[in-house]
Amino acid sequence: MFPGQEAVGTLLSSIPSGREEDWNGKMSEIKKKIQSVLPGGAWTQLHDTSYLPPEHSDVVIVGGGVMGLSVAYWLKRLERPRGAIRVLVVERDHTYSQASTVLSVGGIRQQFSVPENIQLSLFSIDFLRNINEYLAVVDDPPLDIQFNPSGYLLLASEKGAAVLESNVRVQRQEGAKVCLMSPEQLRNKFPWINPEGVALASYGMEHEGWFDPWSLLQGLRRKVQSMGVLFCQGEVTRFVSSSNHAETPSGEEVTLKRVHEVHVKIDHSLEYQPVECAIVINAAGAWSGQIAELAGVGKGPPGTLQGTKLPVEPRKRYVYLWNCPQGPGLETPFVIDASGAYFRREGLGNNYLGGCSPTEEEEPDPENLEVDHEFFQDKVWPPLAQRVPAFESLKVRSAWAGYYDYNTFDQNGVVGPHPLVVNMYFATGFSGHGLQQAPAVGRAVAEMVLHGNFQTINLSPFLFNRFHLGEKVHEHNII
Ligand SMILES: Cc1cc2nc3c(=O)[nH]c(=O)nc-3n(C[C@H](O)[C@H](O)[C@H](O)COP(=O)(O)OP(=O)(O)OC[C@H]3O[C@@H](n4cnc5c(N)ncnc54)[C@H](O)[C@@H]3O)c2cc1C
């Protein structure tokens, strides 16, 4: 409690009820008098510091998207004793105008090929389906993330059939309920599909679907605020670190760094505010490569651990929304065509949304989020109209673009501490499946921070070291 705070509290509570209006009237008269003797116009507070971050926080999370908020949630949930750690989330844009989370298409599936990815999504589906067991806030209405249970339907050509079959084997071993379908079964179950060129399909019978990313983000925000997490609107622009020299087991001379201070540039101001901290979480999504660089990650000779960058960058992806009165009905799954084009229903009324990831050569300039409508005409519509003949007569209603937090090394998440910037932890790089895995990834990062190891799902294959060691995570189902 600050000096004088008690006195003010006592003063306010001693105003007899009914006299409050008198009190407010007097206050407003006093304000007017002060205003009349001060230079300048309307009454303004000269020093409103409510938007400033605290001077110290045990943990500073860079990025208030779904990843950052999930880490914040799990840190507070797993901390012992309650209230033990102070957590600050720094987000530069509270409208989230460019954040991947709110520009995603909200899908969750179990149909991955790497066991850890399946395990992450299996935990996340439990979290999402029981969202109020995790995110309910006393006296607030229950959270509704508009979960739409519906399987993913993955279609494979002759060339991809064997891989699809072996992926399903792994999915089943991990506990996912997925069935294989022949072209004939496909035609029977979904008569609106043209199975030409499809050799095999896999269909998720449980634990898949889509939901509203905004609702999840808002729910997480509301919950973590109720748990005491602090927020600050500002941009992380600098880290102040100390350094030590050491040698790796392979004899490489390295510099170990520890971040002591995070500088936050305050919105609409040239000022920055230093925040002393013990741990930094890099959850800056598509921009996490830049945040890593600010902390010195990758600043060393090429080919060394010291010179290994965080390979995460923004990659632009388009989403188109169309209407098709003759299109497939409510039982439509989330379809991933063998060509890579995808679509799903959007609400009722024969609206659909979909897109397709470009090839490496087609990658658009990520400078801005303008939509290329020709991409739909050339790359998305032809394969989808071939697969669903009713789509011959669709009408595009709107479109948007968002950034994948794209891991150029192997398109999988990066989770856990950096080996050299010893108190920076990553939760990034999920390249198109980060929304659905955020609930489980937040838990994994919190376990690492609080216990020093992964306790529930062993995510060692996702550690940063793999970039230096050249050990890719080979996930077949990157969309
Ligand atoms: C078109 C599209 C479709 C997708 N579909 C799916 C899907 O169906 N299922 C799925 O699971 N995933 C999907 N994704 C991927 C998913 O959206 C992302 O993996 C996930 O949202 C990443 O969350 P994040 O919190 O890391 O990133 P973000 O939501 O981008 O949050 C990062 C935040 O960091 C902030 N930030 C950055 N730098 C700074 C700084 N210096 N200081 C302060 N703040 C900073 C940014 O403002 C931003 O708000 C899709 C993505 C796109 C673009």
Question: What CATH code is carried by the domain that includes residue 114?
Answer: 3.50.50.60
Q: Decide: 235 in ligand 1 pocket, CB within 6 A.
A: yes
What atom in ligand 1 is closest to the CA of residue 404? 53
Distance 103 CA to ligand 1 centre (A): 8
Which pLDDT does position 338 carry in this prediction?
A: 96
Which pLDDT does position 25 carry in this prediction?
A: 64
CA distance 60 to 230: 10
Distance 406 CA to ligand 1 centre (A): 10
Instruction: Print the domain residue range for 477.
Output: 50-150+208-311+408-479
pLDDT digits (tens, 9 = 90+) for 374-383: 999 999 999 9
User: Does some domain include residue 461?
Assistant: yes
Could you give the number of structural domains in the chain?
1
Which residue's CA lies nearest to atom 3 of ligand 1? 104
Which pLDDT does position 4 carry in this prediction?
A: 34
User: Does some domain include residue 432?
Assistant: yes
Distance 180 CA to ligand 1 centre (A): 32
Structure tokens at 30: 């006093």
**What's the whole-model pTM score?**
0.90
Preceding amide of 274 cis, omega within 30: no
CA distance 178 to 164: 11
Of all helices (H) and strands (E), which one includes residue 8? helix 5-13
Running DSSP on this structure, what letter comes out for residue 376? Answer: I
Residue of 65, 64, 71, 62 whose CA lies nearest to 238: 62
User: Does some domain include residue 202?
Assistant: no
User: Does some domain include residue 176?
Assistant: no
Q: Decide: 436 in ligand 1 pocket, CB within 6 A.
A: yes
Strand order in the sheet with 342-345: 178-181, 200-204, 152-156, 334-336, 342-345, 351-355, 312-323, 395-407
User: Does some domain include residue 265?
Assistant: yes
Q: Decide: 62 in ligand 1 pocket, CB within 6 A.
A: yes
What atom in ligand 1 is closest to the CA of residue 430? 19
CA distance 313 to 287: 6
User: Does some domain include residue 322?
Assistant: no
Which pLDDT does position 41 carry in this prediction?
A: 46
User: Does some domain include residue 199?
Assistant: no
CB 434 within 8 A of CB 216: no
Q: Decide: 354 in ligand 1 pocket, CB within 6 A.
A: no
CB 263 within 8 A of CB 280: no
CA distance 421 to 180: 45
Which residue's CA lies nearest to atom 19 of ligand 1? 434
CA distance 354 to 335: 9
CA distance 408 to 284: 16
- Angle, CA of 20, 23 and 25, to the nearest 5°: 110
Residue of 70, 360, 350, 376 whose CA lies nearest to 227: 70
Which pLDDT does position 248 carry in this prediction?
A: 83
List, for the chain, all residue ranges whose pLDDT scores fall below the cut of 50. 1-18, 39-48
User: Does some domain include residue 18?
Assistant: no
Q: Which amino acid is at 388?
A: V
